[in-house]
Amino acid sequence: MREITVATVQMFPRLNEVEANLVHMAEFIQKICQEQPVDLIVFPELVTTGYECGVRFTDLAERIPGHSMNVIAEQAREFNTHVVFGMVAKERVESIIYNTAVLVGPDGELLGDYRKVHPKGEERLAFRPGYRYTVVETDFGLVGLMLGWDLAFPEVARSLALDGAELIAVGANWEQPNVEEWRIYAQARAYENSVFVAAANRIGAEYTYTFGGHSMVVGPRGTLHASVDEDVEGYCVARIDLDDVRKNREELQQFQCRQPATYRSVVRKY
């Protein structure tokens, strides 16, 4: 058995207030880890900035590693845990920014980052899309990273699973009116790939959006292991066995029975 403890945090980020959000994230990490040892904590997408920052995203973008990563890495080191969180990242060209997920390890090191491949709506005006999927090797197993609307594309989870992911960490800003599809997508992606999904969705309202919560940990048969109520800040914790991934894949034969030569239409643009 490869049992680990996973937590997903349902948080209300304050718009454009990076320092306040980092403090609040640290409070969650401390509270969770003081209650029980935890191997992985997953925060929502863009949790350090909020969602509707508009042109301010360019000012709030950071390099990786940078200030926000260093603050959260210190917490990960102090409590001997892994942390996934969403932020705005940039490289050398200041105006080119990415909606990014970062995974830091229990030594405070950067283990991996992922740039969202499927920005939605006005996100496309702010962020350049990424072009590759990230699976990170951790002390306990292989973790795939995903953000928001990526969850609606089955190819993303399947790509991560084929690259070895046993657990997919999803940070999101999923809107309240569509929260039922969020729940269904998370369970479907877990079931169709025999993979665990730790999905953290934010709550709260900004200028034009209200976000729906329902953060959860889902098992490889679509079973809900833990969840948070729709409209409250909080977190859920689940004890899971990563060996269930291999067991279910062997039983269901999803990957062994694939016929890739017949899937040519999948890679057509439209």
Dihedral (Cα; 231, 237, 240, 245), 10-degree rounding = 30
* C-alpha–C-alpha distance, residues 148 and 172, integer Å: 4
- Confidence at residue 47, expressed as pLDDT on a 0 to 100 scale: 98
Contact yes or no for 46/13 (Cβ under 8 A): yes
* C-alpha–C-alpha distance, residues 253 and 256, integer Å: 5
13 prior amide bond cis, ω within 30:
no
The tokens of 181 are what? Answer: 């599809």
- Confidence at residue 1, expressed as pLDDT on a 0 to 100 scale: 86
Q: Which amino acid is located at 25 in the chain?
A: M
Residue 230 pLDDT grade (very low, low, confident, very high; cuts 50, 70, 90): confident
Could you report the per-residue pLDDT of 247-260, keeping only the tens digit for each? 999 999 999 999 99
- Confidence at residue 270, expressed as pLDDT on a 0 to 100 scale: 79
How confident is the model over 204-231, as a mean pLDDT?
95
- Residue environment code for 137-160, b if the CB has 16+ CB neighbours within 10 A, otherwise e: ebebbbbbbbbbbbbeeeebbbbb
User: SS3 letters for 140-151?
Assistant: CCEEEEEEHHHH
Going along the chain from its start, the domains and CATH numbers come out as 3-267 (3.60.110.10)
pTM of the predicted model, to two decimals? 0.97
Beta carbons within 10 angstroms of residue 268's beta carbon: 6
Could you report the per-residue pLDDT of 9-20, keeping only the tens digit for each? 999 999 999 999
Among 86, 88, 109, 104, smallest CA distance to 40 is for 104
Could you report the per-residue pLDDT of 90-117, keeping only the tens digit for each? 988 778 999 999 999 999 999 999 999 9
- Looking only at the bridges linking them, the beta strands covering 196-201 and 167-172 are parallel
- Confidence at residue 229, expressed as pLDDT on a 0 to 100 scale: 82
Place of tokens 């304050």: 14
Q: Which amino acid is located at 132 in the chain?
A: R
Average pLDDT, the chain: 96
Residue 22 pLDDT grade (very low, low, confident, very high; cuts 50, 70, 90): very high
* C-alpha–C-alpha distance, residues 156 and 173, integer Å: 17
Q: Which amino acid is located at 231 in the chain?
A: D
Residue 237 pLDDT grade (very low, low, confident, very high; cuts 50, 70, 90): very high
Adjacent-strand bridge partners of 115: 100
